[in-house]
Amino acid sequence: MAETRHVRFWNRIAGRYTAKPVKDPAAYEAMLADAAGRLRPTDRVLEIGCGSGSTAIRLAPHVAEWTATDFSSEMLRIARAKPAPDNLRFVLADAQNAFAGGLFDAICAFQVLHLVGDLPGTLARIHAHLKPGGLLISKTWCFADMGVKLRSLFFVLGALRVFPPVNNLTTGALRRTLRDAGFEIVDERVFGKNPAGPYIVARKPDPS
């Protein structure tokens, strides 16, 4: 499982985090619409870092099966209390151990890749557990692309342990890491006004 300190952090803030309204509802809805348009009714989907389950609940009706995982038991407690479609299940697992159940047609990682301790290793596991032609649909904060003041603020908050440890990624480094893991990037865009949070769709090549 993930490091105990990370789990404690997210369990501690789960209630406050999930009570906050979405900052940019229009951008969130546009992202959901794009993701839904890439999924098929027959797909088996895995979500890593599902948090309170809001995105999983919205997207699961578009597929055959949606498995939403998170390492925070408090986040999952909140998620499981919400009305959800029958094809959605919530599972306690971190990004290193979320892949039980064979191959998936798509794997979603919304706001999570900047939080994993071993990004190349996580992407390698995602690639290994996608079917040929399968999609990785992700949105990732690239903190190294943010302004100096904002990066300094996150550094201070991290030192005070009121913000989780993050990977100091640039968008370019994220693209390279995806390609190094064997993915081809099929789409990249920004929903909302912050260019440091790219939405990237990557495909596992189908050799056939």
Q: Please report, for the domain that includes residue 170, its CATH number.
A: 3.40.50.150
**Closest to 123 (Cα-Cα) out of 134, 110, 113:** 113
Q: Quick check: is 148 in a domain?
A: yes
Average pLDDT in the chain: 89
Alpha helix locations (H) across the chain? 4-19, 25-38, 54-59, 73-80, 119-128, 148-159, 171-180
Place of tokens 């597929």: 63
Q: Quick check: is 43 in a domain?
A: yes
Q: Quick check: is 208 in a domain?
A: no
* Intra-chain end-to-end CA distance of the chain, in Å: 36
Tokens standing for residue 178 = 């995806």
Q: How far are the Cα atoms of 7, 22, 55 from residue 73, in angstroms, in the given order?
A: 8, 22, 17
Structural domain total, the chain = 1
Amino acid letter for position 184: E
> Quick one: pLDDT band at residue 116, thresholds 50, 70, 90?
confident
Domain with 70, as residue range(s), is 4-203
**Between 14 and 174, residue with greater pLDDT:** 174
What angle in degrees, to the nearest 10, is found between the helix axes of 171-180 and 119-128? 40
pLDDT, mean of residues 22-31: 94
Amino acid letter for position 91: V
C-beta of residue 31 within 8 angstroms of C-beta of residue 199: yes
Looking at the predicted structure, is the pLDDT value of residue 110 above 90?
yes
The string of pLDDT tens digits covering residues 49-107 is 999 999 999 999 999 999 999 999 999 999 999 999 999 999 999 888 899 878 999 99
Q: Quick check: is 145 in a domain?
A: yes
The string of pLDDT tens digits covering residues 188-206 is 999 998 888 999 999 999 9
Determine what percent of the chain is predicted with pLDDT higher than 70: 88
Place of tokens 């190094």: 180
**Closest to 2 (Cα-Cα) out of 104, 112, 88:** 112
C-beta of residue 71 within 8 angstroms of C-beta of residue 7: yes
Q: pLDDT value at position 156?
A: 46
Helix (H) or strand (E) holding 58: helix 54-59
> Any idea which of 110-119, 131-140, 155-164 has the lowest mean pLDDT?
155-164
- Bridge partners (DSSP) listed for residue 20: none
Q: Give 60's DSSP letter.
A: G
